[in-house]
Structure 1
Amino acid sequence: MKKKIQFSLVYRDMWQSSGKFQPRKDQLERIAPVIIKMGCFSRVETNGGAFEQVNLLAGENPNAAVRAFCKPFNEVGIKTHMLDRGLNALRMYPVPDDVRALQYKVKHAQGVDITRIFCGLNDVRNIIPSIKWALEAGMTPQATLCITTSPVHTVEYYSAIADKLIAAGATEICLKDMAGIGQPALLGKLTKSIKDKHPEIIIQYHGHSGPGLSMASILEVCNNGCDVIDTAIEPLSWGKVHPDIISVQSMLKNEGFDVPEIDMNAYMEARRLTQEFIDDWLGCFINPGNKIMSSLLLGCGLPGGMMGSMMADLAGIHRSINSILRSKGKEEYSTDEMLVKLFDEVAYVWPRVGFPPLVTPFSQYVKNIALMNLLTMAQGKGRFVMMDDAMWGMILGKSGTLPGKLDDEIVALAKKNGKEFTDADPHTLIPNALDGFRKEMDENGWEYGQDDEELFELAMHPEQYRDFKNGMAKKRFLADLQKARDAKLGSNLTPEKIAEFKHAKADAVVSPVKGQVFFEFQGSSECTPCIEPFIGQHYDEGQTFCYVQAPWGQFVEVPACLGGKLVEIATRQGGKVNRGDVIGYIERDHD
């Protein structure tokens, strides 16, 4: 019999790759004992990435959820692990050193054993400090290689990075195939290369199913020395998520590996509970497209979990481009044609901005550059015209060293715009911030929480945490949930409720997030690249008024409230707004 293979369940990542929200604390508490009873998992992913943000957005305390989910696994010796974005920790933009260091103390105290530390650029300078802090806090630092397919991402490239991370104290290596586009042969060779040099190092493979290569990749890495495989369970396995434990176990067992058996009664119970959570409320926020595998992902290299937000972003740009085409008397693009154009544009942009692995946040940056290029090209303005500070930060080196060479066009454009490149260690560019957050908590009379976990939450997710504390997050979530349920199940609003909404004062169009404002683009030439809404313009109820690009890259649609006539524009095209700022005022046609 071949070596023993362990299985890890990425239960929370199943939801992250499928929809917008996570199971509630009470739901995680219900599913945990069933996962344990399945008997096949030596590890479970309990936290990381955007999980805590979505808890806050739903009005739930993420610290309580993490503690509750970890506790039963801790008690039976199943290791818990989390996803950590290195320089960005648990969010989409850089985090100060003192907040990053506190993270490991808090998460270890909450019951998380292993931290999977990655940098979207595979820059070891963004990972090594976290390895040190994790070790000091008593956690197992699992350093990560973000896998992609490009001319620069070779076995030698990845092996050299692994050597540096292991020398810095990493006791495990994760091959993070976030888009599932890693070629099986390369993954097998890479696994063998690391194991030959570092036989004591545990290697864990994390691969999404999106384009359909994951099972072949699992077989290759296991045959070359991999120790742990990330898996999922129905009804959220496959699609853009992960392979199902049953299929993975069957394949490896047939290959002769020593794999644990699955308690099928418990599997079916976990399956039933997961479907119950979907039917209860989580399914309202699951994009049906994320349940489908697509070989189209091989061409663009974008992670499958991003497809839902990408399609939402594309919709607004699609409408604007078709408006331009109509004004020119040209045939409009279908959704499929637009999607192919976006994929082709990503393929054009990606090598020119240095082949950053397409994982958060760099997948969002590359996708957003491509989206904006499609729009500005339709306007006759060319490419790389609309790029925000986050996109430029990646290009200029503020997030780390890009794997490939920047195109001369991009370098020249940066110099033309007065942009300065840097090779500074990214984390040295960010001042410490905990003292300021301590002051804010003291002024508000907020408790720091057990093991300073509430202080950490404010420092990590300040905007979302403040909304959680003042109750706005819960109110907004319940409104979103009602809207989603009405859309999914058919409106159940009574005439009385409709009348109540119609008579409510709702003429200020308010930004739901901090970000940059983009109105619908109506321009058809370079001379008229964009026409902002005009005073007197009429909007139907619920019609899109504008979009706000949030700091994490997503374009958030802002509706025109109850409709009516535009009487004032408070924020111009490209203007920066905070959550709650007024963008415009619409006078209703009648009360």
Structure 2
Amino acid sequence: MKKREIKFSLVFRDMWQSAGKYVPTVDQLTRVAPAIIEMGCFARVETNGGGFEQVNLLFGENPNKAVREWTKPFHEAGIQTHMLDRALNGLRMSPVPDDVRQLFYQVKQAQGTDIARTFCGLNDVRNIAPSIKYAKEAGMISQAALSITHSPIHTVEYYTKMALELIDLGADEICIKDMAGIGRPYSLGQIVKNIKDKHPNIPIQYHSHAGPGFSVASILEVCNAGCDYIDVGMEPLSWGTGHADLLTVQAMLKDAGYIVPEINMEAYMKVRSMVQEFMDDWLGLYISPKNRLMNSLLIGPGLPGGMMGSLMADLDKNLESINKGKQKNNQPLMTQDQLLIKLFDEVAYVWPRVGYPPLVTPFSQYVKNLAMMNVMQMEKGKARWSMIADDIWDMILGKAGRLPGELAPEIIEKAKAEGREFFTGDPQKNYPDALDKYRKLMNEKQWETGEDDEELFEYAMHPAQYEAFRSGKAKVEFLADVAKRKAEQAKESQPAPAPAAAPTAMALPTTPQIMTVDVNGQAYKVTVAFGDSNNASAASTPTAPATPAAAPAAAAPGAGEEVLSPLEGKFFLTKDTSETPLKVGDTVKEGDILCYVEAMKTYNAVRSECSGTVTAILLNPGDAVSEDDLIMTIQ
């Protein structure tokens, strides 16, 4: 007798997020959609969510247009679309006001998204409960996720209890979100069996990354236990930090007697070819070759596939920062592999001491960032825990939800020494409604709130990124970054010239060059630097005719104490509209927050080391900044 049917979902969004930091453009997405449909084997496709919309904004595309156009062909073909959302954090790394969360589901349903896959990075059911309610009220299917990790706390019983609570709250489906692929196959099968024993009609979807090597065994176990849908990837973005390949999963389940869809291989090859074309175009610039590899070392730190994609892309910057300090002190330089092992070891040290948060966005980034900051500070001779971002403190203090485990005494003592208070109430209460504020700001700027209030939602969800998108600044900086990366890639691929040879026609410039890019009909001149030039950051100025750009608060350093950036990232005077930006002439006290450096997806507060008056602010919000760059002066 044949076994039951297993359906497949192509996690197209996560294929890209797990590989690197970017996703295809809307034109590329709409080109590949018909071929995905033609494959004939997918009941569902993951089209948006997570970092998808921030990335659209980053390279100057309207994410609302992207979602509407990208989901449309799947709807017409009868294929369900699903998105990933982060419960209290919506689509971003930090908590979202309640009214913005409610609008979120209304907008996404109107844009064509069928299923909201909601997870809380702390597995705090209180954070998921409103999302279940809002998704169902908006007409979406609510799929509540268990964020799988492996620790003494995260047992079969723990996850079974959580799943049953979510179903009692109204969840239509359950997702087993094995974001790091470290769930042990047998245990995952037991979780699925326990859920199906109580609720045989609740659909269960399994999502796993391939990195540590458990995923194919886990897929077979969960299917044997009653799982209904399996998330899959496909070449050239399967395996490694991505997902098990469709062809492998289909062949395995067919052999086990399950009813699985056939695959149109001609269409498969079309999609495979297009994805490679997109990578060759420019997306490959953001994908580390190491992300294609599976690595059992990932069993230890348990870091998720999606985060490993961005981690490998960012690691070079962290390594450069560490090695700058080593060069100054005449110490041997560190290699990337050495840094990676130090980071993994530090994650293993940090994780239990901050209460075993499941290693999923944003808390995987918080644990990794905290570990990375500890490594960087200790390599520079400073103390462990000497730099903890405010978002990470919010996690530690309970403002983002209840931690599964206990905090280490050293963390509790540090919090008390800094006068920080722990929070045990409903996390949503910390983040008051904000739509009226953003609606007012849009009216003042004469910006339309958009169809179904989608532009209002986008602004409220991603304020800084949305402003950079609307101004054209985001696209200018992105195009300059692509040009710089392509030039560096070309330089690396050139054979070394003979010792006395004259420069060839292909030789790249050694000084910054000017290129012109077009943003919504506005021409911008962009300075692109190559190699190790001191002018490595790209600057842009509009050509005539042009809308005048905002001038820096001060054009040159003022008198007084210098404030240096503690790390590389992007400079912001505030992290949201609830804060008042500092300006020249303001007085500050020692310990006051002056500004933020956004790096590794968190806002790192820069505090004043003296009291006095701000005499200069050298950067505009959103400007790139390197470690030890002068950002302001105080006298």
TM-score bracket for this pair, using the shorter chain length: 0.7 to 0.9
- Please give the secondary structure, in 2, of the residue aligned with 1:42: strand
1:368-447 matches, cutoff 5 A: 368-447=369-448
CA contact (8 A) 1:34 1:270 kept: yes
The reply to whether residue 578 of structure 1 matches residue 600 of structure 2 is no
Deviation sequence 1:74-117 (CA, Å, 0-9, x none):
11211110000000000010000101000111110111000000
Q: Which residue pairs with 2:290 in the alignment?
A: 289
CA contact (8 A) 2:528 2:537 kept: no
Rounded Cα–Cα distance in structure 2 between residues aligned with 1:138 and 1:50: 23
- Please give the secondary structure, in 2, of the residue aligned with 1:83: strand
Rounded Cα–Cα distance in structure 2 between residues aligned with 1:585 and 1:380: 23
1:223-234 matches, cutoff 5 A: 223-234=224-235
Which residue identity does 1:584 align to in structure 2? Answer: L
2:566 to 518, 540, 551: 518
Rounded Cα–Cα distance in structure 2 between residues aligned with 1:309 and 1:271: 22
Q: Which residue pairs with 1:550 in the alignment?
A: 599
My pick for the range that moved more, 246-255 or 378-387, is 378-387
Which residue identity does 2:194 align to in structure 1? Answer: S
Rounded Cα–Cα distance in structure 2 between residues aligned with 1:238 and 1:299: 18
Which residue identity does 2:404 align to in structure 1? Answer: P
Q: Which residue pairs with 1:540 in the alignment?
A: none
The reply to whether residue 184 of structure 1 matches residue 185 of structure 2 is yes
The reply to whether residue 205 of structure 1 matches residue 206 of structure 2 is yes
CA contact (8 A) 1:516 1:549 kept: no
Q: Which has the higher contact order (CA 8 A, sep 6+)?
A: 1
**In the TM superposition, what is the alpha-carbon distance from 1:366 to its structure 2 partner?**
0.7
Q: Which residue pairs with 1:116 in the alignment?
A: 117
Q: 1:322 to 1:199 in 2, by over 3 A?
A: same
Question: TM-score, length-normalised on structure 2?
Answer: 0.80
**In the TM superposition, what is the alpha-carbon distance from 1:313 to its structure 2 partner?**
4.8
Deviation sequence 1:118-148 (CA, Å, 0-9, x none):
0000001110001000010000000000000
Deviation sequence 1:159-196 (CA, Å, 0-9, x none):
11111111111010001111111111111111101111
Rounded Cα–Cα distance in structure 2 between residues aligned with 1:234 and 1:509: 34
The reply to whether residue 464 of structure 1 matches residue 465 of structure 2 is yes
Q: 1:46 to 1:442 in 2, by over 3 A?
A: same
CA contact (8 A) 1:211 1:294 kept: yes
Question: TM-score, length-normalised on structure 1?
Answer: 0.86
Which residue identity does 1:73 align to in structure 2? Answer: F
CA contact (8 A) 2:564 2:631 kept: no
**In the TM superposition, what is the alpha-carbon distance from 1:484 to its structure 2 partner?**
1.8
CA contact (8 A) 1:184 1:213 kept: yes
- Please give the secondary structure, in 1, of the residue aligned with 2:387: coil
CA contact (8 A) 2:33 2:73 kept: yes
Rounded Cα–Cα distance in structure 2 between residues aligned with 1:5 and 1:106: 31
My pick for the range that moved more, 325-334 or 501-510, is 501-510
Q: Which residue pairs with 1:355 in the alignment?
A: 356
**In the TM superposition, what is the alpha-carbon distance from 1:248 to its structure 2 partner?**
0.4
Q: Which residue pairs with 1:45 in the alignment?
A: 46
Rounded Cα–Cα distance in structure 1 between residues aligned with 2:415 and 2:526: 51
CA contact (8 A) 2:189 2:221 kept: yes
Rounded Cα–Cα distance in structure 2 between residues aligned with 1:499 and 1:140: 51
Q: Which residue pairs with 1:89 in the alignment?
A: 90
CA contact (8 A) 2:211 2:242 kept: yes
CA contact (8 A) 1:509 1:585 kept: no
1:461-540 matches, cutoff 5 A: 461-490=462-491, 517-519=565-567
Q: 1:82 to 1:372 in 2, by over 3 A?
A: same
**In the TM superposition, what is the alpha-carbon distance from 1:508 to its structure 2 partner?**
9.8
- Please give the secondary structure, in 2, of the residue aligned with 1:296: helix
**In the TM superposition, what is the alpha-carbon distance from 1:315 to its structure 2 partner?**
4.1
Rounded Cα–Cα distance in structure 1 between residues aligned with 2:82 and 2:168: 22
**In the TM superposition, what is the alpha-carbon distance from 1:474 to its structure 2 partner?**
1.5
1:298-377 matches, cutoff 5 A: 298-311=299-312, 313-319=314-320, 321=322, 332-377=333-378
Deviation sequence 1:480-538 (CA, Å, 0-9, x none):
111122122339787699565899899999899xx993159xxxxxxxxxxxxxxxxxx
Q: Which residue pairs with 1:538 in the alignment?
A: none
Rounded Cα–Cα distance in structure 1 between residues aligned with 2:449 and 2:187: 47
Deviation sequence 1:195-248 (CA, Å, 0-9, x none):
111111110001011111110110010000000000011111111111111110
Rounded Cα–Cα distance in structure 2 between residues aligned with 1:350 and 1:318: 22
Rounded Cα–Cα distance in structure 2 between residues aligned with 1:493 and 1:52: 38
Deviation sequence 1:401-446 (CA, Å, 0-9, x none):
0111111221122112211111111111101110111111111221
Q: 1:581 to 1:292 in 2, by over 3 A?
A: closer
Which residue identity does 1:429 align to in structure 2? Answer: N
Q: 1:89 to 1:246 in 2, by over 3 A?
A: same
**In the TM superposition, what is the alpha-carbon distance from 1:307 to its structure 2 partner?**
2.6
My pick for the range that moved more, 492-501 or 315-324, is 492-501
CA contact (8 A) 1:510 1:584 kept: no
Q: Which residue pairs with 1:215 in the alignment?
A: 216
My pick for the range that moved more, 77-86 or 19-28, is 19-28
Which residue identity does 1:376 align to in structure 2? Answer: Q
The reply to whether residue 63 of structure 1 matches residue 64 of structure 2 is yes
Deviation sequence 1:353-387 (CA, Å, 0-9, x none):
11101111111111111122223334444322211
Rounded Cα–Cα distance in structure 2 between residues aligned with 1:516 and 1:100: 37
CA contact (8 A) 2:477 2:538 kept: no
Q: Which residue pairs with 1:144 in the alignment?
A: 145
- Please give the secondary structure, in 2, of the residue aligned with 1:490: helix
Q: Which residue pairs with 2:99 in the alignment?
A: 98
Which residue identity does 1:490 align to in structure 2? Answer: K
Q: 1:188 to 1:410 in 2, by over 3 A?
A: same
Rounded Cα–Cα distance in structure 2 between residues aligned with 1:227 and 1:278: 32
CA contact (8 A) 1:117 1:142 kept: yes
Q: 1:404 to 1:429 in 2, by over 3 A?
A: same
Rounded Cα–Cα distance in structure 1 between residues aligned with 2:508 and 2:536: 25
**In the TM superposition, what is the alpha-carbon distance from 1:467 to its structure 2 partner?**
1.3
Rounded Cα–Cα distance in structure 1 between residues aligned with 2:186 and 2:624: 52
- Please give the secondary structure, in 1, of the residue aligned with 2:9: strand
Which residue identity does 1:219 align to in structure 2? Answer: L
Q: 1:496 to 1:303 in 2, by over 3 A?
A: closer
Rounded Cα–Cα distance in structure 2 between residues aligned with 1:231 and 1:119: 22
Q: 1:311 to 1:231 in 2, by over 3 A?
A: closer
Unaligned runs of 5+ in 2: 493-505, 516-524, 540-562, 569-595, 605-613
CA contact (8 A) 1:207 1:214 kept: yes
- Please give the secondary structure, in 2, of the residue aligned with 1:300: coil
CA contact (8 A) 2:181 2:213 kept: yes
Q: 1:42 to 1:516 in 2, by over 3 A?
A: farther
**In the TM superposition, what is the alpha-carbon distance from 1:304 to its structure 2 partner?**
2.5
Rounded Cα–Cα distance in structure 2 between residues aligned with 1:218 and 1:480: 39
Q: Which residue pairs with 2:173 in the alignment?
A: 172
My pick for the range that moved more, 375-384 or 112-121, is 375-384
**In the TM superposition, what is the alpha-carbon distance from 1:325 to its structure 2 partner?**
6.0
Rounded Cα–Cα distance in structure 1 between residues aligned with 2:205 and 2:251: 19
Rounded Cα–Cα distance in structure 2 between residues aligned with 1:228 and 1:294: 26
- Please give the secondary structure, in 2, of the residue aligned with 1:175: strand
Q: 1:332 to 1:255 in 2, by over 3 A?
A: same
Q: Which residue pairs with 2:498 in the alignment?
A: none
Structural RMSD (CA):
3.1
